[in-house]
Amino acid sequence: MSGVSVHTPGSLAELLNLLANLPNVSIVAGGSDLVPRMTRNKNNTGMAFPGFGREGLPEKNIVYIGSAGLNDIRESDGNIIIGAAVTITELLESALVRAKSPLLVEALSEMAGLTIRNTATLGGNISNASPAGDSLPALYVLGASVVTASVNGSRNHRIDDYISGPGKTARNADEVLKEIIVPIQKQKGAFIKMGRRKTETLSIINAAVLIDVQDDVITNNELGSVRIAIGAAGPTVIRCLAAEDFLCGKEPTEENFEIAGTYAAEAVSPIDDVRSTAWYRKRMASVITKRALAKALQSAE
């Protein structure tokens, strides 16, 4: 790593100045994606998705964001605002997040193992933009957005606009992902992950759903409509809009969840990779959609 400088800005202003003035910067938060990626590229082994994992050793500057004041979790105007350097463990231990975003907690509790969760951040999971990122389906159905900042000001992006492909986001080189805005959960929710092991493994496929039922009918009201998102089954997380449309106004029966699963399988466009085949992922898209809808119905408000 000779010729590489590590910077540890102590404030957001200092961080943004570094991003504005330094060439060839790699931002690091928990390092749990970045550091293994450097090693993999050094050994010239590939990643599952084309164009992903090609960052390699930073040429000049690593900027660590953990001391720049991006460590808050707070509630504001019906949202939870999460600083980009907040770790997964801090989120899982937050009384606010546990009370107001149980779906996000469920998804994060399936991520990696304790040691990784102690350093990995939600901002890093989003910025990494892996189609298999376990926080992402929950953030999509919750309608989350992110704020990027540079010396020229801040920009807001819906999560599904922000992530444009494997490893690709709308962030400019002089910007940092500053915070994540997660609307407080109103519907019942569930997350399901299929991996090759129980922990410390990336998803073969994952799904998050939100659903509200009134008088035995799946509603589309002020609580929001039914929402279904599937990860690791396309270049980005996929919202299953046809399945959602089908379910609105229907009874929450096993048969209707089965049909919704069929729509979900039609919506995804998975590939073969080291973790699974496209064929299996398509089949499982249907299965986990059905299971997640049933699980959400049984969950506490």
Site residues for ligand FAD per CB under 6 A? 26-34, 36, 65, 84, 111-112, 116, 119-121, 123-125, 127-128, 133-134, 171, 176-177, 200, 202
- Cβ at position 87, least distance to ligand FAD in Å: 7
- Which pair of structure tokens corresponds to residue 133? 């990122």
Cβ neighbours of 221 (radius 10 Å): 10
Nearer to ligand FAD among residue 37 and residue 263 (C-beta): 37
Tell me the residue type at 271: I
Smaller CB separation from ligand FAD, 33 or 90: 33
Report the residue closest to ligand FAD, judged by CB: 124
Closer Cβ to ligand FAD, 179 or 212, answer by number: 179
Torsion of CA 227, 228, 231, 235, to 10 degrees: -80
Report, in Å, the least distance between residue 138 CB and ligand FAD: 11
Residue 108, CB-side half-sphere exposure with 13 Å CA sphere: 28
For ligand FAD, the closer CB: 16 or 226 = 16
Q: How far is the CB of 293 from ligand FAD (least distance, A)?
A: 22
Neighbours of 45 (CB within 10 A): 9
Which region, left, alpha or beta, applies to residue 83 given φ > 0 means left and ψ of -120 to 50 means alpha? beta
CB of 33 vs ligand FAD, minimal distance in Å: 4
Q: Nearer to ligand FAD by C-beta: 101 or 121? A: 121
Question: Strand 79-83 to strand 168-169: parallel, antiparallel, or no bridges (unpaired)?
Answer: unpaired
**Are the beta carbons of 38 and 57 closer than 8 angstroms?**
yes
* Minimal distance, residue 108 CB to ligand FAD, in Å: 9
Residue 271 to residue 66: CA distance in whole angstroms: 35
